[in-house]
Amino acid sequence: MRRLLSIAVAAVLLSAGAACAQQYQRPANLDFDLLIQELFAQQGGDDNTASYEDIYENLSQFFQSPLNLNTATPEELASLFLLTPNQIASLQRHLRTHGALLTLYELQAVPGFDLPTIYKLAPFVMVPETGLQTDRRNFFRRLSDGDNTQLIVRTTRTLEEKKGYTPAPIDANGRPATRYLGSPENLYARFRSTHFHDYSFGVTAEKDAGEQFRWNPAERQYGPDFLSAHAVIYNRGRLKTLAIGDYQVQFGQGLLMSAGFAVGKGAETVATVRRPNSGIRPYTSVLETIFLRGAAATVRVGGGVEVSAFGSRKRVDGTGAVVDTLDDGQVSVDGFSALSLTGLHRTPTELARRQNVTETLGGGDVTWTAPSRTLQIGLTGTATRYSAPIQRRAVPYNRFAFRGQANSGLGVHYSWTVGSATVFGESARSGASGGWGHVHGVVASLSAAVDAALVVRDYARDFYSFYGNTFGEGTFPVNERGVYLGVKVRPVSRWELSAYYDRFRFPWLRFNAATVNSGGDEWLGRVLYRPDKLTTLYAQLRVERKDRNLPTAESGTLRQVGVGTRRNGVVYGGFRPSSRFELRSRVQVSSYQLGERPRTTGLALAQDLNVNLGRRVALDTRFALFDTDDFDNRQYLYESDVLYAFSIPALSGRGSRAYAMLRYSPTRRIDVWLRAARTLQRDATTIGSGLEEIQGPRRTEVRVQVRWRAG
């Protein structure tokens, strides 16, 4: 491992030395992949894949159809998670005082905007070349000729045979073993047409690997396993938004209703702590649990007041279902233990719980915005009912968990910008239990070079919010108290220092911490240096201490709680020697220790070479080595992938991973992606477990995607 670490450090320093030796003066190269790595910088701990995929989808949409800075609302700008509330307010004041921006470079004249911020923002925003005020018609004509109408078709497959696709052996009772019912291909298709602030409609279909492609209306399947469609119109008189089909809503800080995308704690220590009050949005992802299905609308009633109403009725997957067979042979679900979030229906067991419970949800929001747009206050209410009661397992940590069929919530949210500070928050009460949830914070620019954020949260052990996704340590806002302090400092030009400290407690028992008032703390420090527009260097260290159950050496049963300490370090160097080539070197190290048990370690090295051969051809490549003592030190490495696909594999054990992705555009309207990735496990004879097990040390994934664009 020491030898690998020495090689990796040398590679990073080599990239840095080459970068510092050459100071190119050319327009900034926009780096979408690096930004995603910064936002998803947290390693280990509780993973929230749903939020990661949704925020990636959100940023990808802005990347393909950039926001017009002259007309973007504060909520849309906040949805980028790149600007602090103070920067957004400063931009709005600049537009009111000086009129529409004529060029993106004019942002340098806006107080609070420095060059690193502008470089990071540039991929997702635009300014019409002629200015919106002078040529509005031409602006919308240019949009309609862009990427706003497109069809995407994708297929993905693992080349090696997994156990789930092998012939099923017969057990001693004469029953065949469980196997996947469908083919090993993952199939995806998506059509969407959208006009900025005008309308959006689209259809998305997906079949996961192992699922069946079948036509069976009796079981609510019409070809692929998952189908989603939406139609949304904007700005028709007093009607701000009308959505029919699948959609998401986000009000306040997401304590009651969150659209799903939330970055949480990471290297962006200030801008991401506050959730945008983005209202109603079309749903375009393939996650099968975090959306609403029905209709929603927002109406401007005057005086700065907007009224929103939403209703949803959809089928969901209930695990641990208690079923009853009726006289006509139909199966009735009399109760279930929890909602399944995987969306996978590959085996008879998974297929039996597919859409076996009906979820009905309704609610609304009333938000008042002051004429100055510095103050916003809102009231949100929700009501949810399931067709069968939730019956939790009788274990101690579930004592205060939700039980029953129905729950409601009522909350108040606010945001107030005064001077260089923005105060925000939300408080809500759960109707089924009376439990309260609170999250309040402030983001402030202490000087031209210093930004800071403070967030305090208190989620009761009996606060229930099925669609809540606000700031916190856990996945859901329940059974948690904490204080977060983040800071970002730009001491001199080209340097940026970021840090946060978070202290949290859990008043009641947790799944993996069998003690009252367990908790921990976490801190992160990061130093970033950009010597020029073509070079990025940073080093980052994150340390987390959290109470966890200690297993006994004899049987693995749980007896007491100890402190688990996780450390993650990252060193990164990126450099473009020319407009056609880019080098990226990355070193990740980690360690984990639980109580007095021996400390384990992990290491990953990644070297990227990306080649751009013009508008039509681009090639991204990587070779990575990893060496970890156990799964607690698994290494997450963000990878470049085809448009709207998301890849952060968890690498554990000892081995290597490599991928290559080719993008080819034979015409202006057609793009083709070819991607192949291979993992070689050098310390094992099999990869994966259960039905995902592969005999042999290699796993190879191949992905092909084609996109057609109108215009």
153: its two tokens:
């078709």
Rounded CA separation 356/685 (Å): 39
- Which pLDDT score, from 0 to 100, does residue 55 have? 67
pLDDT at 239: 96
pLDDT, position 324: 66
- Token pair for residue 653? 């054990």
| Cα 438 to Cα 42, 240, 262, 271, 384, distances in angstroms | 24, 29, 17, 20, 20
CA distance 241 to 236: 8
| pLDDT tens, position by position, 678-711 | 999 999 999 999 999 999 999 999 999 999 998 6
Mean pLDDT calculated for residue range 201-206: 96
Distance, in Å, from the CA atom of 130 to the CA atom of 112, rounded to the nearest integer, reads 25
Hunting for tokens 């012939």 — which residue is that?
167
SS3 34: helix
- In sequence order, the 6+-apart residues with CB closer than 8 A to the CB of 330 are none
Are 168 and 179 in contact, with CB atoms under 8 Å apart?
Answer: yes
Quote the pLDDT of residue 645.
85
Model pLDDT, residue 702: 98
Which range among 10-19, 160-169, 438-447, 624-633 shows the weakest confidence by mean pLDDT?
Answer: 10-19
Collapsing DSSP to helix, strand or coil, 261 comes out as coil
Evaluate the CA torsion angle 52, 53, 59, 63 in order and state its sign. Answer: positive
Backbone φ/ψ region at 228: left (φ over 0), alpha (ψ -120 to 50), beta: beta
Q: What is the pLDDT of residues 331-353, one digit of tens each?
A: 677 889 999 988 999 999 999 99
Q: Give the pLDDT score at 433.
A: 93
pLDDT, residue 19, reads: 40
Mean pLDDT of the chain: 86
pLDDT of residue 142 exceeding 60: no
Cβ distance 275 to 256 under 8 Å?
Answer: no
Q: Which pLDDT score, from 0 to 100, does residue 328 have?
A: 57
* Confidence band of 174 (pLDDT split at 50, 70, 90): confident
Share of the chain above pLDDT 70, in %: 86
Report how far residue 469's alpha carbon sits from residue 262's, in angstroms, rounded to the nearest whole number. Answer: 7
**Interval 431-481: pLDDT, tens:** 999 999 999 999 998 988 899 999 999 999 999 999 998 999 988 899 999
Q: What is the mean pLDDT of residues 615-635?
A: 95
* pLDDT mean over 382-390: 95
What pLDDT sits at residue 429?
97
Per-residue H/E/C for 498-558: EEEEEEEEECCCECCECCCCEEEEEEEEEEEECCCCCEEEEEEEEEEEEEEEEECCCCCCE
Lowest mean pLDDT among 36-45, 82-91, 264-273, 325-334: 36-45
Q: What is the pLDDT of residues 597-617, one digit of tens each?
A: 999 999 999 999 999 988 899
Choose among 414, 421, 84, 477: nearest CA to 255.
477
What pLDDT does 28 receive?
Answer: 36
Residue 38 confidence (pLDDT): 63
Q: Are 282 and 58 spatial neighbours (Cβ–Cβ below 8 Å)?
A: no
Highest mean pLDDT among 105-119, 249-263, 290-304: 290-304
Task: Select the more confidently predicted residue: 46 or 377.
Answer: 377
- pLDDT range class, residue 29, cuts 50, 70, 90: very low
Provide the pLDDT for residue 262.
Answer: 64
Give the β-pairing of 421-430 and 495-506: unpaired
For range 138-162, the mean pLDDT: 72
Q: How far apart are CA 377 and CA 356, in angstroms?
A: 39
Q: What percent of the chain has pLDDT over 90?
A: 58
Query: Which has more pLDDT, 39 or 682?
Result: 682
Does position 144 have pLDDT exceeding 50, yes or no? no
Mean pLDDT of 244-270: 86
Lowest mean pLDDT among 259-268, 292-301, 521-530: 259-268
The winner for highest mean pLDDT among 53-67, 143-157, 225-239 is 225-239
Confidence of residue 323 (pLDDT cuts 50, 70, 90): confident
What pLDDT does residue 321 have?
Answer: 78
How far apart (Å, rounded) are the C-alpha atoms in residues 164 and 157? 14
Residue 508 has pLDDT above 90, yes or no: yes
Locus of tokens 């996780």: 566
pLDDT (mean) for 82-95: 83
Degrees to nearest 5, angle at CA 499 with 496 and 504: 165
